Amino acid sequence: MPGTLTDWAALMMAPRLGLMKALSLLQLASPSVLRQWALAGDLPGVSPATAQWLAYPDMARIDALLAWAEQPGQQIVTLDHPDYPQALRQIADPPLMLFVQGRVAALQGPALAMVGSRRATVAARERTAQWADQLASLGWVIVSGLAEGVDAQAHRGALRGGLTVAVVGSGLNHCYPRIHIALAEQIRHQGAMVSSFLPWQRPRREFFPQRNRVVSGLSYGTVVMEAGIKSGSLITARIAAEQGREVFAVPGSVDNPGCEGCHFLIKQGAKLAVDPVDIYEELLPMGAIRLAKPEAKAVSELPLPKLLDSVGYEATPVDVVVARSDLPVDIVLEQLLMLELEGRIAQVSGGYIRLRGG
């Protein structure tokens, strides 16, 4: 599918020409040949307005796009480009062009998507960062959508251990949500910011399903860390399954409505994951670059085991901890503080929760 960047841009920007129609045209000829057909008035299956645009596109808009790609650290990767991710090229509806800021090499994977609730619990956010760190250190490129909650923690954890890719639902001239401007800058330096939308396009609700398709399409597997039954993460998981990719779900408390989505996915056949080992052993044949089973950490005796056992993985009120442990209130409060300093529990609204590994 050879063609100049101008040819590809004209095809992408053509009015009333959807992605699937554009992909079907590319089965017939390259973008440059399609434009030649349009100039000759012989482009099949498109409206006169679309053919007119392809023959005589708005060069001011295309020149603006080319100027964007000339800026340091910015690149446009077309569907026929060697740097276009192979995993994404294999899905039924790959974007014609990817707009990239940062390290284009990060798109070569092997990649793993981590998604979940914007309002994730403290435990889920902690777990996401830990797992992303561990998986990134083993060679997986962690892909997510830069949203608050699980997405942001996936990026932050991966930045500690390796590479991460953020796929956004807007053009790269805009950061959404704006609270993640600093995080996006970190990702540009240690990974890549990616969009399938023109750089100047602002975030729109209808853009996010396409964003999710790219997140899962880039990845060998999608891990849902914590999600409610109506969460957008379940849509990403469904898309991943449709794309033939593995879907993993992390279980949580049956009393937490925010975990219902993960439990639903497990009942529907998603692979249950309680540790990163469940993920990388399943995906080992996919070929992550440095995959090696981590050495088992020495197991030390847990401090204050009686009190620790009294704190659940869901919010546990102090009076419940007192009743379960059968210890005086002053001792409970003192030992809860010690456990919190040890990083084994966390204080949340409604009491304390036990952190995984605690």
Domain boundary residue, one of 286, 315, 340:
286
Query: Is the confidence at residue 224, as pLDDT, over 80?
Result: yes
Residues 158 and 109 in one domain: yes
Query: What CATH number did the domain enclosing 345 receive?
Result: 1.10.10.10
What is the share, in percent, of the chain residues with pLDDT greater than 70?
Answer: 92
Nearest by Cα to 65 from 201, 156, 174: 201
Angle (nearest 5°) at CA 83 between 139 and 112: 30
What mean pLDDT is predicted for residues 38-46?
88
For the CA atoms of 79, 85, 89, 90, what is the dihedral angle to 10 degrees? 170
The reply to whether 78 falls in a domain is: no
Token pair listed for 158: 């991966």
Residues 150 and 262 in one domain: yes
Residues 163 and 309 in one domain: no
The reply to whether 75 falls in a domain is: no
The reply to whether 153 falls in a domain is: yes
The pLDDT of residue 310? 84
Q: Determine the Cα–Cα distance for residues 358 and 309; give it in Å rounded to an integer.
A: 10
Label the pairing between strands 164-167 and 191-195: parallel
The pLDDT of residue 301? 38
Distant-in-sequence, close-in-space partners of 11: CB < 8 Å, separation ≥ 6: 3, 17, 22, 25, 31, 34, 35, 54, 96
Residues 278 and 324 in one domain: no
Residues 33 and 114 in one domain: no
Q: Are 162 and 136 in contact (CB under 8 A)?
A: yes
**Domain residues for 167?**
104-286
What's the pLDDT tens digit per position in 73-108? Answer: 999 999 999 999 999 999 999 999 999 999 999 998
The pLDDT of residue 211? 96
Query: Is the confidence at residue 195, as pLDDT, over 70?
Result: yes
Q: In 3-state terms, what secondary structure has residue 259? A: helix
The pLDDT of residue 280? 84
The reply to whether 72 falls in a domain is: no
The reply to whether 29 falls in a domain is: yes
Number of domains in the chain: 3
What's the pLDDT tens digit per position in 101-131? Answer: 999 999 987 999 999 999 999 889 999 999 9
The answer to whether the predicted template modeling score (pTM) of the entire model surpasses 0.85 is no
The pLDDT of residue 327? 84
The pLDDT of residue 309? 81
The pLDDT of residue 254? 85
Residues 130 and 183 in one domain: yes
Q: Are 22 and 53 in contact (CB under 8 A)?
A: no
Query: Is the confidence at residue 185, as pLDDT, over 90?
Result: yes
Q: Determine the Cα–Cα distance for residues 32 and 125; give it in Å rounded to an integer.
A: 47
Residues 114 and 258 in one domain: yes
Residues 165 and 269 in one domain: yes
Alpha-helical (H) ranges within the chain are: 5-13, 19-26, 31-39, 48-55, 59-69, 86-89, 122-137, 150-161, 181-189, 208-217, 232-242, 260-267, 276-283, 305-308, 318-325, 329-341
Q: Are 350 and 356 in contact (CB under 8 A)?
A: no
